[in-house]
Amino acid sequence: MTRFAALGDSITVGMGDPAPGRGWAALLAGTLPQPELYNLATLGALATDVERAQLPAATALRPDVASVVVGINDTLRGDFDPERTGLSVDRTVAALRAAGAEVLTMRLPDPGQMFGLPGALARPLARRMRAVNAAVEEVARRHGTVHLDAARDPATYERRYWSVGRLHPNERGHRLVACRFHALLAAADFPVGPGPDPEPSSSPPTRLAEVGWMATKGARRGWSGGPATWCRPWWAWRCANGSASDAKSQNRKLRNRNIRSRKVRGLRA
């Protein structure tokens, strides 16, 4: 029996995979000997949420494998603090290693590239992501984790691996993450079976379905066409370059011009 505790945000929850309850963690678990998967990840989780809410349950399980994939949501906070994020990840990984787990971590991709933002918006997010990645890479080095460098993987930024909103991997993207972690575990001599199938088992959404998503869920999340498309990335830029109160003030002006806006917490992965 191999007990796998998956900690993190909505990427680990499996958002973007059309099969409920699947996602990359479940796909990877299927390659482990007699797997027991405990997916403790939650939507919108920050590194501190993982440490405070998910870690106690994970250590109580005494897992053989644990994953800690978190940090994108932290970069979108007005009170962004990479040191705080790094310390939370460090304490989480240290506790899991002390409990005897092989721990999986990830160098996260550049959200500006994922969202296809112009340079003026992409650069502040990239700086934040580099700061988080530097902290997590130090944690990975210190504790000897199985570390996936998704940021430097060219496939990460291919459109075919992302759902229509570009916020979460689609099924093919979740399979890519599972395959990459599987290969790293095998290279580390951790017992694994055959790797996940990289090809999706579900039909891709039709163009009509994608348009419908953008017009309904995408619009509510600030990713429909027109000015709303840039509203949430604009907020992220303001968080990186000014105070949150300044951003809120500007959002009020935008709403007066009938432009939909949402707080950056809506961008959480």
Check which CATH number belongs to the domain holding 132 and give it. Answer: 3.40.50.1110
Q: Which of 240, 223, 4, 229 is nearest to 102 (CA)?
A: 4
Q: Sign of torsion, CA 188 192 198 203? A: negative
Q: Using CB atoms within 10 A of its CB, is residue 216 exposed (0-12), middle (13-18) or buried (19+)?
A: exposed
State the number of CA atoms in the 13 A half-sphere of 92 facing the CB.
33
- Residue 6: phi and psi, rounded to 5, are -105, 120
Residue 211 shares a structural domain with residue 183? no
Q: Give the pLDDT confidence score for residue 192 in this predicted structure.
A: 97
Strand 65-69 relative to strand 35-39: parallel, antiparallel, unpaired? Answer: unpaired
Whether residue 110 lies inside any domain: the answer is: yes
Q: Give the pLDDT confidence score for residue 201 in this predicted structure.
A: 85
Whether residue 135 lies inside any domain: the answer is: yes
Residue 104 shares a structural domain with residue 235? no
Residue 222 shares a structural domain with residue 257? yes
Tell me the two tokens of residue 251. Answer: 């959002």
Residue 151 shares a structural domain with residue 257? no
Q: Which of 24, 32, 38 is nearest to 198 (CA)?
A: 24
Residue 153 shares a structural domain with residue 214? no
Question: Domain range spanning residue 256?
Answer: 207-267
Residue 20 shares a structural domain with residue 148? yes
Q: How far apart are the first and last CA of the chain?
A: 31
Q: Give the pLDDT confidence score for residue 165 in this predicted structure.
A: 63
> How many angstroms separate the CA atoms of 47 and 80, rounded?
11
Residue 157 shares a structural domain with residue 243? no
Instruction: Per-residue pLDDT tens, the chain, 269 aa: give them.
Output: 999 999 999 999 999 999 998 999 999 999 999 999 999 999 999 999 999 999 999 999 999 999 999 999 999 899 999 999 999 999 999 999 999 999 999 999 987 777 777 888 888 889 999 999 999 999 999 999 999 999 999 998 888 998 866 678 999 999 999 999 999 999 999 999 999 999 998 766 555 555 444 444 444 444 433 333 334 444 444 444 443 444 444 444 434 433 333 333 344 44
> How many angstroms separate the CA atoms of 99 and 17, rounded?
30
Q: Output DSSP code: residue 54.
A: I
pTM of this structure: 0.78
Residue 124 shares a structural domain with residue 232? no
Whether residue 195 lies inside any domain: the answer is: no
Q: In what order do the strands lie in the sheet with 102-107?
A: 35-39, 2-8, 65-69, 102-107, 146-149
Strand partners, 39: 6
Q: What single letter denotes the amino acid at residue 157?
A: Y
Report the domain count for the chain: 2
Q: Give the pLDDT confidence score for residue 205 in this predicted structure.
A: 58
Q: Specify whether the CB–CB gap between 123 and 165 falls below 8 A.
A: no
